[in-house]
């Protein structure tokens, strides 16, 4: 299927830095739809931007696109003529796009793919499945893309893996660069409990050690050792939970660690720490994996220290919405005692080594 019409809701880091790279390489025409009027103006005025990769891969010049604002009168026609529509606007905004698409009368079958990181993101717009000609599924983004300080260019990890939920869609997408995945929910959960978890572990430990650059924290020998100890029990628990081989999960987590250590990916500790309230929810990247470890009869004082570091961050950087006592009351008693003790050590300036009693 050549010369496809690709529509991407969201011209941000993922939309223009990851999804559109494949369309560009395939010679497809992309239409970005975005609420940011200045971004739309700049994209159309300049007519091109570059994707700059973290490896020695040649920069990709992207120029086969147009950009529209949400109130552009041509949107209905553009959507009806699309071969595939991607939604990459942040999970909280997916429903707004869904309502917009619900008003369109599609005269041919159309595939709609949410390109967000989260669990069951498409549930927010499941009402679209009731409409004739609409096929809806989820994809997941493993690739890190970062907006550069100036201009439209995007810095990107050199990773082209773009999986989608084949079972949810009920058919294969006629696009070679999308990878059909069975048991997609398991892949999503493993990503959250591995990639997102390790990212949070590095971020909150790194915050306490006053790192600013994320890869610097990831390459800190003490933090590296703590991550390794956590993954030792977490990987076993994930393998048991999702009935996969331990070697497969070990490889999966190793790729995450390598990614976060890559100094060419210029990310910040602060970006990975923010929204700590959400990251401490029961099914999120910290409490979920920690509970899984305990469910399989393991323990991890290193992981409990990470939770204390997250609380340490929250009480200092997001205190306007953060109540330490609320979180401690929500923890099992065997956790809360250790976490509170570790937290008190942290506010008194103790080192990780002195708290854990280890010599890394």
Give first-to-last CA distance, the chain, whole Å: 55
Q: How many domains does the chain have?
A: 2
User: What number of other Cβ atoms are within 10 A of residue 136's Cβ?
Assistant: 24
pLDDT of residue 313: 95
pLDDT of residue 237: 98
250 and 286 belong to one structural domain: yes
60 and 191 belong to one structural domain: no
CATH number assigned to the domain comprising residue 52: 3.40.50.720
196 and 312 belong to one structural domain: yes
226 and 150 belong to one structural domain: no
pLDDT of residue 26: 84
Domain final residue, candidates 156, 182, 208: 182
Mean pLDDT (the chain) is: 93
pLDDT of residue 126: 95
Per-residue pLDDT of 172-204, as tens digits, reads: 888 888 999 999 999 999 999 999 999 999 999
Confidence of residue 12 (pLDDT cuts 50, 70, 90): very high
Domain final residue, candidates 130, 157, 182: 182
Whole-angstrom distance, CA of residue 174 vs CA of residue 111: 10
Neighbour order of strands in the sheet with 179-181: 65-69, 29-34, 5-9, 84-87, 110-115, 134-139, 163-165, 179-181
CATH number assigned to the domain comprising residue 343: 1.10.1040.10
Angle, vertex CA 134, rays to CA 129 and CA 136, nearest 5: 65
pLDDT of residue 170: 85
DSSP 92: G
Structure-derived torsion over alpha carbons of residues 333, 336, 338, 342, reported in degrees to the nearest 10? -170
164 and 74 belong to one structural domain: yes
Whole-angstrom distance, CA of residue 248 vs CA of residue 160: 20
**Would the pLDDT of 217 be above 90?**
yes
DSSP 112: E
Closest CA to 87 of 41, 51, 40, 136: 136
User: What number of other Cβ atoms are within 10 A of residue 75's Cβ?
Assistant: 17
Average pLDDT over residues 217-233: 98
48 and 117 belong to one structural domain: yes
**Would the pLDDT of 27 be above 90?**
no
Q: With DSSP H G I counted as helix, E B as strand and the rest as coil, what are the percentages for the chain, rounded to 5?
A: 50, 15, 35
Contact in structure between 285 and 199 (CB atoms under 8 Å): yes
pLDDT of residue 248: 97
151 and 192 belong to one structural domain: no
163 and 17 belong to one structural domain: yes
* pTM, full prediction: 0.86
Domain final residue, candidates 159, 182, 205: 182
224 and 267 belong to one structural domain: yes
pLDDT of residue 61: 95
pLDDT of residue 282: 87
Average pLDDT over residues 321-350: 88
pLDDT of residue 110: 94
pLDDT of residue 353: 94
166 and 57 belong to one structural domain: yes
Residue 94's SS3 state is helix
Q: Which domain holds residue 250?
A: 185-356
**What does DSSP say about strands 49-53 and 154-156: parallel, antiparallel, or unpaired?**
parallel
Whole-angstrom distance, CA of residue 45 vs CA of residue 43: 6
Contact in structure between 178 and 162 (CB atoms under 8 Å): yes
DSSP codes joined into one string, 252-277: HHHHHHHHHH-TTS--BHHHHHS-HH
202 and 100 belong to one structural domain: no
331 and 189 belong to one structural domain: yes
């Amino acid at each position: 299927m050549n010369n496809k019409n690709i529509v991407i809701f969201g011209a941000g880091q993922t939309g223009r830095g990851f999804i559109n790279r494949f369309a560009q390489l395939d010679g497809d025409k992309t239409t970005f739809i975005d609420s940011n009027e200045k971004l739309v103006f700049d994209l159309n005025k300049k007519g091109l931007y570059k994707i700059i990769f973290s490896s020695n891969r040649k920069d990709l010049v992207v120029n086969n696109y147009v950009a529209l604002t949400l109130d552009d009168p041509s949107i209905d026609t553009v959507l009806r003529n699309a071969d595939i529509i991607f939604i990459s606007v942040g999970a909280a905004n997916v429903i707004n796009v869904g309502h917009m698409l619900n008003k369109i009368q599609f005269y041919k079958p159309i595939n709609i793919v949410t390109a967000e990181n989260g669990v069951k993101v498409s549930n927010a717009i499941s009402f679209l499945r009731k409409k004739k000609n609409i096929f809806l599924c989820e994809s997941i983004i493993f690739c890190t893309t970062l907006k550069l300080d100036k201009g439209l260019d995007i810095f990107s990890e050199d990773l082209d893996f773009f999986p989608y939920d084949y079972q949810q869609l009920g058919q294969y997408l006629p696009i070679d660069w999308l990878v059909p995945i069975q048991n997609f929910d398991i892949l999503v959960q493993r990503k959250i409990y591995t990639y997102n978890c390790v990212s949070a572990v590095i971020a909150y430990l790194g915050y306490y050690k006053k790192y600013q650059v994320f890869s610097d924290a990831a390459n800190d020998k003490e933090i590296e050792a703590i991550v390794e100890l956590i993954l030792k029990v977490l990987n076993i628990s994930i393998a048991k939970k999702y009935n996969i081989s331990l070697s497969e999960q070990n490889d999966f987590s190793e790729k995450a660690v390598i990614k976060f250590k890559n100094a060419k990916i210029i990310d910040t500790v602060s970006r990975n720490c923010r929204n700590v309230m959400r990251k401490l929810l029961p099914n999120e990247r910290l409490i979920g994996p920690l509970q899984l470890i305990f469910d399989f009869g393991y323990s991890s004082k290193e992981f409990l220290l990470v939770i204390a570091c997250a609380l340490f961050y929250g009480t200092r950087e997001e205190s306007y919405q953060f109540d330490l006592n609320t979180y401690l009351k929500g923890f099992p008693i065997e956790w809360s005692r250790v976490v509170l003790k570790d937290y008190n050590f942290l506010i008194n300036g103790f080192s990780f080594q002195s708290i854990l009693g280890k010599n890394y």
